[in-house]
Amino acid sequence: MKIEILGTGCPKCKKMYDNVIEVLKKSGKNADVVKVEDIMKITEYGVMMTPALVVDGVVKSSGKLLSHEQIHDLLN
């Protein structure tokens, strides 16, 4: 599984990354987690608001910081 956190480096984007890492550790799942801060790459996904969560190339959420529970639900 490849997970991308799209954002320009704002505090919410950093927190989203941390939340994803915590959920993966707690669930025992393995994934490649990448931060994408390049605005051109972010717009290629059609994302206009960050942070955004992309799982295996599919945008699952954008424009809000997800809770641990929300992330867990999206990854299952």
Specify the pLDDT at position 76: 86
2-75: CATH topology: Glutaredoxin (3.40.30)
Specify the pLDDT at position 65: 97
Q: Which residues participate in catalysis according to the annotation?
A: 10, 13
The tens-digit pLDDT sequence of the chain (76 residues) is: 999 999 998 999 999 999 999 999 999 999 999 999 999 999 999 999 999 999 999 999 999 999 999 999 999 8
Determine the number of helices (DSSP H) and then strands (DSSP E) in the chain. Answer: 3, 4
Nearest 5°: CA angle at 11, between 35 and 2? Answer: 20
The rounded distance, in Å, linking the Cα atoms of 71 and 58 is 14
Q: Domain coordinates of the chain in residue numbers?
A: 2-75
